[in-house]
Structures are given as C-alpha cells and as structure tokens.
Amino acid sequence: MNKRPPLRRSAPVGAENDGVIEGRNAVTEALRAGVAIDKVFLMKGDTDPTLGHIASAAREKGIVVVDADRRKLDGMSRTHSHQGVIALAAVREYATVDDILNIARERGEAPLIVVCDELSDPHNLGAVIRTADAAGAHGVIIPKRRSAGLTAVVAKTSAGAVAHVPVARVPNLPSLLKELKEEGVWVFGTAAGGTTQLYQADLKGPAAIVIGSEGDGMGRLVAENCDFTVSIPMFGKINSLNASAAAAVLLYEAVRQRLGG
C-alpha cells in the first residue's frame, strides 16, 4: 500500500449546494479546476465527441464514469439542461487504506475499520459514517462502483462526520480484505446465518467490520474473504436490521470490549 500526503478538504467550485454539476461546460471546467468529483454520469449511447472527452478526462483522474439513460439524468437534473452529463461533487477527497491504518498507528490503537459492501443508499452510508465517528473507528472503506459516495446527501446525513472520518474507495473489495488480513487485521462479516454469535466475537484486536448491501447482504466473494461471519441476535418477528443499525451494533460491541466492559 503506497503512502501519500495528508488529506485536504476540497471545495466543490461551481457546484450547487447539493453537489450537482451539470452541463458540458460546467463539468469540463470542474474537471479542469481539480474539483473533487465523486462520479460522472453520461448519457448512454450519445456519441458526441465532447462527452467522450469528458469521460476520458474523468477516467484519467480516477473518477468513476457511469452510463445513464435520459430518465435517470432528467431525474438528477436541477436545471433541466444537463446536456447529457451530470457530475456529483465529492464533499472531500477520498483517503487511502494506508491513511486509515496510519491513523490507528498514530493513536497507538488496534485498527477498527468499517467496510461497506455496495451500500447504494446515501442515507445509510451517511449514518454509518456518523456512527463510525461516534465509536472512534479509524475509517470507512467503500467500493468504487455500485456504492454511494461522499456526496452532499451523505455529508448531511452524517451530521458533519465526513469531515472527521477518513473514507477510502477501492476498486475491489475481496482484494482489499486480503490486504487487510496481510496487515494483521481480522475481518468480521455481518450475516443473518453467521457462524459466530455477536457476543462470542473477539473485537478487541485489529478488526474490520463488513456491512453488506441493503438488499442482498455481502457478496459471495466478499463473504468468502471474511475470517468470521457474525450474526446479531434477533428476538422479534423481523430477522434483519438496517445496514447502518447493524454497523452501530457491531461497532459499539467493539467499543464495549475495548473498554474492558
């Protein structure tokens, strides 16, 4: 894992309050100005060279480019004049996994990391980041694709916690989990049919807690790369918790154990 300079906040120049940048000139200028951008959505099937240049410029900067149909773009648009392209500004730059591990080292603490497996609801991701901050977790890791990013909605839901919790974005979660294990971090995946009961899981040491997606839970390859799958005791008629609630339960069990409770 490569080292990089400390994080810096990014002001989404030219973005509206909700972080939506739309129109070919506005998105091109945002890319040229180095605005932190979470994703760029392009009209599917549009062969206009300008859109092709925008896609190339975005990919060169490591920004996720998503093909979208007109209905999706129209639904995202605030100006109703998106010209086939909309960018979502990121409220801050993404961290690296090394940033997160280094924070734990600097604090002299065993790493406590939350890994979100394709949480697509920005409200869920924002709630997870808020809880991670409250529980003293060292960072949150999300995949580049099929996940909410650090948008204005996430920032608002996090109640400002995005300013304090490093969030790393990686291209491949199974590979990321292997890297964490090489760093001595134990990986605990949440699953209704988990083989380890929550209160039997040892979360005092270096731990990464994996939270599955809202509908399908953890993906197969992600689950296969967990050291333990952990189930939360359920005593009512409902057999699962919201993703952010599950994260809160596991994080605070880790806090309890680390405080010697």
Same domain, 60 and 154: no
Residue 6 is assigned to a structural domain of this protein: no
Same domain, 128 and 223: yes
Same domain, 48 and 125: no
Q: Interhelix angle for 24-32 vs 49-60, to 10°?
A: 30
Residue 33 is assigned to a structural domain of this protein: yes
Please name the helix (run of DSSP H) or strand (run of DSSP E) that holds residue 250, with its range, or none: helix 243-258
Which amino acid, one-letter code, is at 215? G
Q: Are 158 and 130 in contact (CB under 8 A)?
A: yes
Residue 238 is assigned to a structural domain of this protein: yes
pLDDT value at residue 199: 93
Residue 11 is assigned to a structural domain of this protein: no
Other residues' Cβ atoms within 10 Å of the Cβ of residue 172: 14
Q: How far, in Å, are 3, 31, 66, 135, 173 from residue 26 at the CA level? A: 32, 9, 18, 39, 32
> Taking the CA atoms of the chain, what radius of gyration do you get in angstroms?
19
CATH number at residue 59: 3.30.1330.30
Per-residue pLDDT of the chain (261 residues; tens, 9 = 90+): 544 444 433 433 334 457 889 999 999 999 999 888 989 999 998 888 999 999 999 999 988 899 999 999 999 888 888 999 999 988 888 999 999 999 999 999 999 999 999 898 999 999 999 999 999 999 999 998 888 889 888 999 999 999 999 999 999 999 999 999 999 999 999 988 888 999 999 999 999 999 998 778 899 999 999 999 999 998 988 877 889 999 999 999 999 999 985
pLDDT value at residue 1: 56
| Strand extents, DSSP E, 64-177 | 64-68, 85-89, 112-116, 139-143, 167-170
Q: Are 104 and 111 in contact (CB under 8 A)?
A: yes
Same domain, 152 and 45: no
pLDDT value at residue 15: 40
Other residues' Cβ atoms within 10 Å of the Cβ of residue 237: 5
Q: pTM above 0.95?
A: no
What strand order describes the sheet that includes 37-43? 20-22, 85-89, 37-43, 64-68
Domain range for 66: 20-89
CATH number at residue 185: 3.40.1280.10
Residue 2 is assigned to a structural domain of this protein: no
Residue whose token pair is 């859109």: 51
Distance separating alpha carbons of residues 35 and 221, to the nearest angstrom: 34
Same domain, 129 and 151: yes
**Closest C-alpha to 175, from 187, 192, 191:** 187
Distance separating alpha carbons of residues 122 and 15, to the nearest angstrom: 18
Same domain, 187 and 120: yes
Same domain, 101 and 145: yes
Same domain, 65 and 106: no
Distance separating alpha carbons of residues 184 and 177, to the nearest angstrom: 11
